[in-house]
A = this chain, B = another copy of it.
Amino acid sequence: MRILLASLLAAAALPALAQTAPPPPPQPSAAEQAYDTTLVARLRDAALSDSMAWEITEGLTTEVGQRLAGTEAEARARAWSVKRLTAMGFANVRVEEFAMPVWERGREAAELLGPYPQKLVVAALGNSASTPAGGVTAEVISFPDVAALAAAPAEQVRGKIVYIGHAMPRTEDGSGYGVFGAPRRQGPTLASQKGALAIVIRSIGTDREHRNPHTGVMNFAEGATPIPAGALSNPDADQIERILARGQRPTLRLTLESRVTQGRSGNVIAEVTGRDPNAAPVLVSCHLDSWDLGTGAFDDAAGCGIVAAAAKRIMEAGTPARPIRIVWFGAEEVGLFGGLDYRARHGKEPHHALMESDFGADRVWKVDSRLGAERAIEARRLQRVLQPLGIVPGSLTETDGPDIGPMLADGLPGASLQQDGTRYFDIHHTPDDTLAMVDRKQLQQNVAAWTASLAVLAGPVEQRPAAPRRRRR
């Protein structure tokens, strides 16, 4: 009896996954079995040789480069995009502009004055306060994570420069960014509330070898005085931790200059006309702005290339049942301004599905969707056409995406082609986010997945009659 009880308890301690027998695979209905995937498969497989996504990624990152939200560089990116999307033959190419505050970095430096004088590599976090000319100098006080900082008495922290470690691991689904992103999101407010002079965190990035500091936005909580806030590259964070492990109290001089102005951003919108122009569109999106350290190839020129290439491939094949609306959102990085502006203007309009590509350029490994119980056949069909690309079926009740997130939260339907995030946070928000990181084969697999998804979600494509051969005269 005791043995039985012990083994029951042991079994109960196993994770839930191991407890549940997998559900039997759903049997496709007769209607679904009759669904002809021939055209979808043909469009999907042809997209594995796509060059348009690469050309857009290459063009945007070369001819514009970094595209910090609200700056003239992002405005140049919008002009570039309107020209490119128009040249590609999309309908109704337009910009919906909006005003926004703009934070821009200036001179940055971090230098240990003692016990071992040396320079460290640092980047300011978005919305960091500016240091005075000459920087701020103070002793470093270290915390392993935000919980430890939260628990520290204010008198320990006052007048010091807070350092938070908390190294983020790599994961395929990128889920480490939530909890390990806390030092960036909550650290500056907590440090400010306890009277710290400034804060530097270990980069919320998973490249442990290169000195590529990882920037990103943060916002001070209501009432907290903004302080200078930066991120050290992982090797520089290791250096600080080795010094602390010797029982030393490092003194840091930190210069993080920045300024805040008012600017304008905007969403660039283009369409593929559907057979029924009044049908709810399938929205496919990315964001056009980037962080300023790299050229935003992975984040998110590639996403813009993927969705536009897939829409163009559908348009070339013929006319889909529903319109496809391409949205290249502005000002995503600094607070989802583009997504919120779109929602304010169009969030009450029906959308057949919302989709966004914003997780780099590596292969799609899973598809999630939330189309509603009444559209289960469509959701299963989406899973089915993606399987030949090695994409596993995921959730039917959860989907995500940054700019489309608020609208998904409002209840609009959506689908997510989840990309392999293993190396995403090695690159994302660092100086190393350039075209050099983009793997063309994986980019093509993305286009194939998006093309197949659009062929399903935008409804049957009515093929154009083959163009008559011209005779030579």
Q: Do A121 and B62 touch (CB < 8 A)?
A: no
Min C-beta distance of A1 to chain B, whole Å: 51
Q: Do A62 and B209 touch (CB < 8 A)?
A: no
In the assembled complex, the Cα of A434 lies from the Cα of B237 at a distance in Å of 12
Any B CB within 8 A of the CB of A210:
yes
Q: Note all chain B residues with C-beta closer than 8 A to A115.
A: 63
Query: Which of A238-246, A251-259, A263-271 contacts its partner?
Result: A238-246
New contact pairs (18) apart from A63-B116, A66-B119, CB-CB < 8 Å: A58-B242, A62-B116, A62-B242, A65-B117, A65-B118, A65-B119, A209-B436, A210-B210, A210-B212, A210-B432, A210-B436, A211-B294, A211-B431, A234-B436, A235-B434, A235-B435, A235-B436, A239-B295
Min C-beta distance of A247 to chain B, whole Å: 13
Min C-beta distance of A26 to chain B, whole Å: 43
Min C-beta distance of A367 to chain B, whole Å: 29
Q: Note all chain B residues with C-beta closer than 8 A to A343.
A: none
Any B CB within 8 A of the CB of A208:
yes
Interface string of A84-102 (1 = CB under 8 A from B): 0000000000000000000
| A115 nearest in chain B by CB position | B63
Min C-beta distance of A352 to chain B, whole Å: 37
| A437 nearest in chain B by CB position | B209
Min C-beta distance of A7 to chain B, whole Å: 41
Any B CB within 8 A of the CB of A64:
yes
Interfacial residues of chain A within 42-94, with CB under 8 A of chain B in the complex: 58, 62-66, 73
Min C-beta distance of A360 to chain B, whole Å: 14
Q: Would you list the 9 A-B pairs with minimal beta carbon distance, nearest first?
A: A65-B118, A235-B436, A235-B434, A211-B431, A209-B436, A62-B242, A63-B116, A210-B210, A210-B432
Min C-beta distance of A449 to chain B, whole Å: 25
Interface string of A181-212 (1 = CB under 8 A from B): 00000000000000000000000000011111
In the assembled complex, the Cα of A410 lies from the Cα of B135 at a distance in Å of 53
- Per DSSP, chain A at the interface is loop
| A112 nearest in chain B by CB position | B65
Given contacts A62-B239, A242-B58, A242-B62, contact A436 B118 (CB under 8 A): no
Q: Which residue among A58, A116, A121, A210 has the maximum number of chain B CB atoms within 10 Å of its CB? A: A210
| A238 nearest in chain B by CB position | B436
Q: Choose among B64, B208, B238, B431 the residue that contacts A121 (Cβ–Cβ < 8 A).
A: B431
26 CB < 8 A contacts A-B: A58-B242, A62-B239, A62-B242, A62-B243, A63-B115, A63-B116, A64-B116, A64-B118, A65-B116, A65-B117, A65-B119, A65-B239, A66-B118, A73-B117, A121-B431, A208-B436, A209-B432, A210-B212, A210-B432, A211-B294, A235-B434, A235-B435, A238-B436, A239-B295, A239-B434, A239-B435
In the assembled complex, the Cα of A288 lies from the Cα of B238 at a distance in Å of 22
In the assembled complex, the Cα of A117 lies from the Cα of B67 at a distance in Å of 11
Interfacial residues of chain A within 375-413, with CB under 8 A of chain B in the complex: none
| A292 nearest in chain B by CB position | B119
Min C-beta distance of A105 to chain B, whole Å: 11
| A118 nearest in chain B by CB position | B65
Interfacial residues of chain A within 110-127, with CB under 8 A of chain B in the complex: 115-119, 121
Min C-beta distance of A212 to chain B, whole Å: 7
Q: Which residue among A119, A212, A434, A435 has the maximum number of chain B CB atoms within 10 Å of its CB? A: A434
| A434 nearest in chain B by CB position | B235
Min C-beta distance of A378 to chain B, whole Å: 40
| A241 nearest in chain B by CB position | B62
Min C-beta distance of A465 to chain B, whole Å: 37
Q: Do A295 and B118 touch (CB < 8 A)?
A: yes
Interface string of A435-453 (1 = CB under 8 A from B): 1110000000000000000
Q: Note all chain B residues with C-beta closer than 8 A to A295.
A: 118, 239
In the assembled complex, the Cα of A97 lies from the Cα of B238 at a distance in Å of 33
In the assembled complex, the Cα of A64 lies from the Cα of B63 at a distance in Å of 42
Q: Note all chain B residues with C-beta closer than 8 A to A118.
A: 64-66, 73, 295
Interfacial residues of chain A within 217-242, with CB under 8 A of chain B in the complex: 234-235, 238-239, 242
Q: Which residue among A66, A119, A121, A235 has the maximum number of chain B CB atoms within 10 Å of its CB? A: A235
Interface string of A118-144 (1 = CB under 8 A from B): 110100000000000000000000000
| A121 nearest in chain B by CB position | B431
| A66 nearest in chain B by CB position | B118
In the assembled complex, the Cα of A115 lies from the Cα of B118 at a distance in Å of 38
Min C-beta distance of A357 to chain B, whole Å: 22
